[in-house]
Structure 1
Amino acid sequence: MRDIASNIGPVQAVAPQVLSAANTSAAIDLLGFNSAALVINTGAIVSAGDFTAKLQESDTTTAGDFTDVAAAHLVGTFPASLAADSVVKVGYIGHKRYVRTVITKNGGTSIAAGAVIVKGNPADAPVS
């Protein structure tokens, strides 16, 4: 089968926007899926903006329960700083039910960015 759309569940983590401060997404539920990937799409950076990204995980939706995903549970790595007009893809192979994205401003003014969690390997397909 060549159709990937019936086997993924994309969820918008960060709506495309100009970020001038740190951004933490809502918790994204991975229930019913056996894999996930984070895709970040960037646009312009203003005043040498320095932004980093990471993925956090938790068994609950409580904000204080989220911790950074260990490198051993990631497929790929996050860049030291997000670049303008680029796409970053990092897979998640951890076992927690919830994930969320964190984009942190370390300097500069702003970055245009958006993020999507792509849930894959559904327990029940096709995915609507």
Structure 2
Amino acid sequence: MRDLANHLHVKRAISPAAAVTDNTAIVSQIIDRAGYEKLMFAISTGSLADADATFTVLLEHGDAANLSDAAAVPDAQLTGTEALAGFGFGDDDEVRKLGYVGPRRYLRLTITPANNTGNVFVSAVAILASGRYGPPANPPV
């Protein structure tokens, strides 16, 4: 079967929004992976106007719904690396991915700019797969 849509659940992580013009961290929604074995974040950049800005990525996980127990995800529980998911001023209109294979239920993605004085457009989605119950609703809830 070639259908992929009925095997994936997509959740908003970082909404498309007005440009970020400073070094304020861009923090995702808390993603609940209940009912799904696999999770990957897809980060999409738009125009990155600053000529020396860099953007680091951090993935945190925990068991509390509000992530009051948040801890950085150990490298062994990532597919890909946070460094490879990061980007710089020359990475306009690109996509990065970062996968999670850890045991925790809740996750949060943070993108932190440095040296950013220009307009930056960033968004992200969480893609969940291997659902225990399926197929997932369309549109996703």
CA distance in structure 2 between the aligned counterparts of 1:80 and 1:107, rounded to whole angstroms = 18
Query: Relative to 1, partners in 2 of residues 1:80 and 1:27: Cα closer, same or farther, differing over 3 Å?
Result: closer
Aligned to 1:66: 70
Shift of 1:61: 2.3
What amino acid is aligned across from residue 34 of structure 1 in structure 2?
Answer: E
Q: Structure 2 matches for 1:29-68, cutoff 5 A?
A: 29-48=32-51, 49-68=53-72
Between Structure 1 and Structure 2, which shows a larger proportion of strand residues? 1
CA contact (8 A) 1:51 1:111 kept: no
Unmatched segments (≥5 aa) in structure 2: none
**1:11 equivalent in alignment to 2:11:** yes
CA distance in structure 1 between the aligned counterparts of 2:20 and 2:57, rounded to whole angstroms = 12
**Partner of 1:19: helix, strand, or coil?**
coil
What percent of counterpart residues are identical? Answer: 32
Aligned to 2:26: 23
**1:87 equivalent in alignment to 2:95:** yes
CA contact (8 A) 1:43 1:86 kept: yes
CA displacement, residues 26-80 of structure 1 (integer Å, 9 cap, x when unaligned): 2111000000001000011122322111211110123431111111001112337
Q: Deviating runs (4+, > 3 A) in structure 1?
A: none
Shift of 1:19: 2.5
**Partner of 2:76: helix, strand, or coil?**
helix
Give the RMSD, CA atoms, in angstroms.
1.5
Shift of 1:25: 1.6
What amino acid is aligned across from residue 71 of structure 2 in structure 1?
Answer: T
2:80 to 53, 69, 76: 76
CA contact (8 A) 1:51 1:105 kept: yes
Query: Relative to 1, partners in 2 of residues 1:70 and 1:22: Cα closer, same or farther, differing over 3 Å?
Result: same
- The worse-fitting range, judged by mean Cα deviation, of 55-64 and 84-93 is 55-64
- The count of corresponding residues between Structure 1 and Structure 2 is 128
**Partner of 1:6: helix, strand, or coil?**
helix
Q: Which structure has the larger Rg over C-alpha atoms?
A: 2
TM-score, normalised relative to structure 1? 0.91
